[in-house]
Structure 1
Amino acid sequence: MSKIAIITGAGRGLGRNAAINIARKGIDVILTYRNSRAEAEAVVAEIEALGGKSVALQLDVAKTNQFDGFVAAVGEALNRVWQRESFDFLLNNAGHGDLVPFSDITEEQFDAMFNVHVKGVFFLTQKLLPLLADGGRIINYSSGLTRITFPGMSAYIAAKGAVEALSLSLAKELGPRRITVNTIAPGAIETDFLGGAVRDMPELNKQFADMIALGRVGKPDDIGRMLASFLSDDNGWITGQRIEVSSGQVI
């Protein structure tokens, strides 16, 4: 029986890459998207071309009033596509960033950041727990920026710090169900995050590359392949850990 992962925000960027790499390992995927159904369906088609099963469901993780409906949709998809009542892995990937100086960030921007990265992660995980199989895995996404700061990212960094603390708490509370909870912290990656700043601005790209032991910023595959490997049975004894995936950005 195939294992099933839910990946939020998997229509593009790191979420999309994780979905494809996980599917290559034989894991089926329920992915969420906020706006672009076409992008999400393209990921579904790619997973199906690999021989896997996949479903795309709409979800805005900042809107907790959508969560009950989303959980019902997950339950329906599990029954219809997999003839199951549970899934195995939850990857809380969906997120965004704002590059705004601390002196200028507004309360609205702050709330938007915490609604997605903290409140959304907290309550979506809570709502999905009844459907998560005992012995399952939760992976929360943080950032290398919680260890090496960068100007203009104060709200984002604060939110990701909260996610890391939440992961520790959940690892302890969910231990009796043999559910592991870990945080991955990517370093600088060439994606469309911050409007593609690291990918498209050579000076910024070099600034981060100069901080990294292996001399380059990451590619999405550097994170997606690690995640696909980490979900193997070989890593079931790891919980409550923050795993830096930055090629030595903080050395």
Structure 2
Amino acid sequence: MTSKDNNSARRIAVVTGGSRGLGRATVLALARRGVDSVFTYQSRRADAEAVVAAVADLGSRAMALPLDVGVASSFGAFATELASTLSSLGADRFDYLVNNAGISLHKAFAETTEAELDAVFNVHFKGTFLLSQTLLPLIRDGGRIVNLSSGLARVSAAPTAAYGAMKAAVESLTRYMAKELGPRGINVNAVAPGAIATDFSGGMVRDNPEVQKMVIANTALARIGQPDDIGEMIAALLGDENRWVNGQRIEVAGGMAL
């Protein structure tokens, strides 16, 4: 078998927001399983290059492409660039899509502006919907999609009305996608992280002792979640051992708010 044949036999994931946090953890978890990645970043090129290097150290391949998932008009050009990137990896299709990129909004319902609501909608729901739609010609039949939700779609913890509602919409979309993409053998699931120690929301969980105390007190396993807790779960869900899981919401939160 030639080197090119070897490369084309490897599976490839597309992960949005892969330069940091949960996306980075997912790319690295996939690399440990021998899965190559094309991941997106918005502005932190140095962080993206560090992830590419870390993946290489694990014996896998990764390539980073810029993308703002809140700008749907850019998706067509991104798909063209992705196709070219896949070709450089010896492939014409990819196997897995992880819709991870996101923004936070901690604002009371009564105080949320139209512009703030639109921003959360554009990234979390519209971005997930239209990017997945745009990339359908490039994902293999029998592939897999994971959409990122949140524990806040299940638990109403003010002030996160807009964010929690958009993640609930993503969960509903996940079920529709699973049903409509089933004829192609593509399964679609949602992973809902709990409170995780990343820089999301300005590092609120990672850096605030009061928030940590509250999370620990309300979590059955009595600790803060770590990025690898989510990355490893997503990588496992994409694996062949979970091929019969479809259209599901899977909360990964250590038993929070039970």
Aligned residues: 250
Following superposition of structure 1 onto structure 2, how do residues 90-109 of structure 1 map, counting pairs within 5 Å?
90-109=97-116
Deviations 1:161-197 (A, max 9, x none): 1100000000000000000000000011111111001
Counterpart of 2:61 in structure 1 is: 53
Counterpart of 2:49 in structure 1 is: 41
Q: Does structure 1 residue 250 correspond to structure 2 residue 250? A: no
* Conservation of the 8 A alpha-carbon contact between 1:147 and 1:250: no
Counterpart of 2:179 in structure 1 is: 172
* Conservation of the 8 A alpha-carbon contact between 1:44 and 1:56: yes
Counterpart of 2:20 in structure 1 is: 12
Counterpart of 2:196 in structure 1 is: 189
Taking only aligned residues, the RMSD between alpha carbons, in angstroms, comes to: 0.8
Matched residue type, 1:48 = A
Q: Secondary structure at the match of 2:223?
A: coil
Q: Distance in 1 between matches of 2:77 and 2:218?
A: 44
1:74: Cα distance to partner? 0.7
Q: Secondary structure at the match of 1:174?
A: helix
1:114 aligns with one of 90, 114, 121: 121
1:142: Cα distance to partner? 0.2
1:126 aligns with one of 123, 127, 133: 133
Kindly report structure 1 stretches of 4+ aligned residues shifted beyond 6 Å. Answer: none
Counterpart of 1:29 in structure 2 is: 37
Q: Distance in 1 between matches of 2:229 and 2:196?
A: 9
Deviations 1:191-225 (A, max 9, x none): 11110011111011111111110111201111111
Q: Secondary structure at the match of 1:94?
A: coil
Following superposition of structure 1 onto structure 2, how do residues 54-93 of structure 1 map, counting pairs within 5 Å?
54-81=62-89, 83-93=90-100
Q: Distance in 2 between matches of 1:181 and 1:228?
A: 14
Q: Does structure 1 residue 2 correspond to structure 2 residue 16? A: no
Q: Distance in 2 between matches of 1:115 and 1:130?
A: 22
TM-score, with normalisation over the residues of structure 2? 0.95
1:250: Cα distance to partner? 3.1
Deviations 1:122-151 (A, max 9, x none): 000000000000000000000011111211
Which stretches in structure 2 are left out of the alignment for 5+ residues?
A: 1-8
Q: Does structure 1 residue 160 correspond to structure 2 residue 167? A: yes
Counterpart of 2:4 in structure 1 is: none
Matched residue type, 2:150 = S
Identity of aligned residues (%): 50
Which stretches in structure 1 are left out of the alignment for 5+ residues?
A: none
Matched residue type, 1:99 = H
Matched residue type, 1:101 = A
Q: Distance in 2 between matches of 1:93 and 1:17?
A: 11
* Conservation of the 8 A alpha-carbon contact between 1:78 and 1:86: yes
Q: Secondary structure at the match of 2:109?
A: coil
